[in-house]
Amino acid sequence: MLFWILVSIGVFADIQGWVFVKGSRPKPPLFDLLEPIPFWSIYMYLCVPLVMIGSLFEHVGVEVMSGLPFFVATYLYLVSCAVIGGWDWLRRRFMHQAFLNE
């Protein structure tokens, strides 16, 4: 579920990214509806680790940005797994301590 939320943020950020290329393509249908919500900035902060890893690979000579949609989808999947796994770990750890303190 979290993965699809993150993918939706990415799609909505792409729609909001129309602002930067106004002359080259027509206005997306949902642009006016999504304009007040900061999906683009949320997505940029979310992708900072991906850009850092991609720049490291490119510095070594491995071209990873040519398959960008695949890498973004894989990255978002790994982020959602890490968030859910971390949440479960924290919940088990603190719930277990709460029961021990009673």
- pLDDT greater than 80 at residue 36: yes
- pLDDT greater than 70 at residue 98: no
- 62-93 CB burial, b ≥16 within 10 A, e <16: eeeeeeeeebbeebbeebbeeeeeeeeeeeee
| pTM beyond 0.85, yes or no | no
Percent of the chain with pLDDT over 90: 16
Instruction: Give the per-residue pLDDT at 84.
Output: 93
pLDDT tens sequence across 37-49: 998 899 889 888 8
Task: Give the pLDDT mean for 16-32.
Answer: 82
